[in-house]
């Protein structure tokens, strides 16, 4: 039963007009009136291709309400299989991602999906974020939305200029409204072609901390580890700066 305080009304405002059976004009619809633009939109969206996707997420086991609400609003491609999210709970992030990807690629059902989408428990993607990610997957193998570090001087999660070689890892300045190629990106809202994980040997993700055999200190997060391996195989990555993703800081109740 609806609460008495909730009122629902549907008001259709029709303009005064006479609709007859004579005349030379036929209402063919807005999309047909601009047919070339409509066709280009369909091509860009990729809606006629295989957009099957599995969503995976490593988690500590709790989700902020605003993150859940954001995910519930996320639009999925019409008439395409989108599974998940599938969660790995209370595991180190690199081990969680390895376990999740392994589960997907070795599943008879999920392994047929063309894409794997990673979403992390503190990221708030826009409603059309996933649909926009698909638009760049002909040109790139991994594409993510733009989000920033969770502090006042937070940097954008877009690293390295491929023109400087695949080892370049400096934070890059986002190019407004563009799909920007890079050497690495975060995994908060990121779409991967599933075939990559069949081409690259395991482990796909590894957090590296310590000193190597030459006495050089090495630190690398699981995402950088993956992108270094994938870059050596010739795969290309980008951040879509049209897809603006909030990064929620639960300690300060603030979205960066």
Segments making up each domain of the chain, as ranges:
51-255
pLDDT at 2: 44
67 within 8 A of 248, measured Cβ to Cβ: yes
Q: What is the pLDDT along the chain (256 residues), one digit of tens a residue?
A: 444 445 555 566 778 877 766 656 667 777 877 777 767 777 676 676 899 999 999 999 889 999 999 999 999 999 999 999 999 999 999 999 999 999 999 999 999 999 999 999 999 999 999 999 999 999 999 999 999 999 888 999 999 999 999 999 999 999 999 999 999 999 999 999 999 999 999 999 999 876 555 555 568 899 999 999 999 999 999 999 999 999 999 999 999 9
Instruction: State how far the Cα of 103 lies from the Cα of 65, in Å rounded to an integer.
Output: 27
**pTM given for the model:** 0.83
Instruction: State how far the Cα of 64 lies from the Cα of 150, in Å rounded to an integer.
Output: 15
Nearest to 120, CA basis, from 151, 154, 88: 88
pLDDT at 21: 64
Domain 51-255 has CATH 3.40.50.150: no
Strands 189-193 and 254-255: unpaired
């Amino acid at each position: 039963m609806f609460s008495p305080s909730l009122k629902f009304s549907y008001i259709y405002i029709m303009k005064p007009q006479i609709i007859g059976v004579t005349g030379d004009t036929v209402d063919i619809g807005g999309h047909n009136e601009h047919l070339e633009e409509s066709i280009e939109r369909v091509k860009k969206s990729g809606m006629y291709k295989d957009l099957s996707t599995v969503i995976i997420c490593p988690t500590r086991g709790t989700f902020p309400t605003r993150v859940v609400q954001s995910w519930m609003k996320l639009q999925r491609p019409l008439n395409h299989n989108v599974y998940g999210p599938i969660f790995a709970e209370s595991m180190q992030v690199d081990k969680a991602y390895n376990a999740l990807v392994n589960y997907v690629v070795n599943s008879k059902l999920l392994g047929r999906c063309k894409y794997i989408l990673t979403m992390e428990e503190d990221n708030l993607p826009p409603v059309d974020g996933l649909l926009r990610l698909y638009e760049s997957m002909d040109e790139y193998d991994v594409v993510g939305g733009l989000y920033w570090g969770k502090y006042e001087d937070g940097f954008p999660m877009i690293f390295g200029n491929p023109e400087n070689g695949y080892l370049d890892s400096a934070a890059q300045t986002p190019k407004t409204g563009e799909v920007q190629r890079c050497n690495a990106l975060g995994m908060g809202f990121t779409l991967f072609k599933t075939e990559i994980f069949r081409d690259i040997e395991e482990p796909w993700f590894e957090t590296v901390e310590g000193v190597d055999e030459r006495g050089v200190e090495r630190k690398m997060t699981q995402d950088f580890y993956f992108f270094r391996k994938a870059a050596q195989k010739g795969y290309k990555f980008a951040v879509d700066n049209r897809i603006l993703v909030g990064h929620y800081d639960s300690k300060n109740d603030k979205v960066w």
